[in-house]
Amino acid sequence: MPSFISSNPSDARPKVLVLGDPKYLDQDYLSAFKKSYDVTILPTPTTRPHLLSTTLPATITTHGPFAALITRLDATSSPYAPFDATFFTPFLPHLRVVASGQAGADAFDVAWLTRRGVWFCNTRNAVAEATADWALRLMKRGSFVVNTSRGGVVDEAALIEALESGHIERAGLDVFEDEGEDGKGIRQYWLESERVVVQPHVGGLTEGSLRRAQKEAFENVRSYFETGRPVAPFNELKTSS
């Protein structure tokens, strides 16, 4: 079992910070989890500057140091991105594992975490994610394209060209190459074209998928403390033999 640090000698449980509300998690599961781990939950959304300048330092001082962070349990954690050196430095040197409740890793500086010996885990199974490149020119003329996986799966410039030429008849998009803050990065073409139906990246936001994602994130943390390795690590760490 990996070592961890507790500021309270009378409570030897590893300390876990949950950034977000695990409201979809089975409450019996959460209660059992809390018996093994000292869990602090910050469910109330706030701005990133306020979180970094006030809420997070106070929480770490009062309840930390934390060996594990669970975040992105639902849409309320999006304002805290990017999860970068500025975000994670206050957790060091005690942080050992970060578990996200979402499939995407773009918002996390995984390379930075890896260099500092911190595991990063996303949720691979809760929301199925298509990963194949789409060769649009090989599709039959008049085909429909639907993307609910990741924005980078589809070459948007190529898709626009295929729509304009009529090779692709219609497109339905839930994700985009550059969504930006509050969707400001989305191409105007998608919003104006009568050939395209868009929705705001909510394809995986069902209660069932959120329930599975939240449990998967917690299980990654549990596995790390019990075995030294998360269930589904996104990165690999160098370990001494």
Instruction: Supply the CATH number for residue 146's domain.
Output: 3.40.50.720
- Report the predicted TM-score, pTM, of the whole model to 2 decimal places: 0.67
Write out the residue range of the structural domain in which residue 100 sits: 15-121
Q: How far apart are CA 165 and CA 167, in angstroms?
A: 5
Exposed/middle/buried for 17, CB within 10 Å: 0-12, 13-18, 19+? buried
Band of pLDDT at residue 106, cut at 50, 70 and 90 = confident
Are the C-beta atoms of residues 134 and 145 closer than 8 Å to each other?
yes
Q: With respect to residue 215, please indicate whether it lies within any of the assigned structural domains.
A: no
Residue 130, pLDDT score: 33
Q: Please tell me the least confidently modeled range out of 47-51, 87-91, 127-131, 171-175.
A: 127-131
Task: Give the count of domains, the chain.
Answer: 2
Which structure tokens are listed for 41? 């939950």
Residues 26 and 67 in one domain: yes
Contacts of 137 (CB under 8 A, 6+ apart): 162, 167
C-alpha 5/C-alpha 197 separation (Å) is 51
**In whole angstroms, what is the distance from residue 31 CA to residue 43 CA?**
17
Ordered alpha helix ranges (H), 175-206: 188-192
Same domain, 132 and 80: no
7 pLDDT tier (thresholds 50, 70, 90) = very low
Residue range 123-150: mean pLDDT, rounded: 57
Q: What is the DSSP letter of 79?
A: G
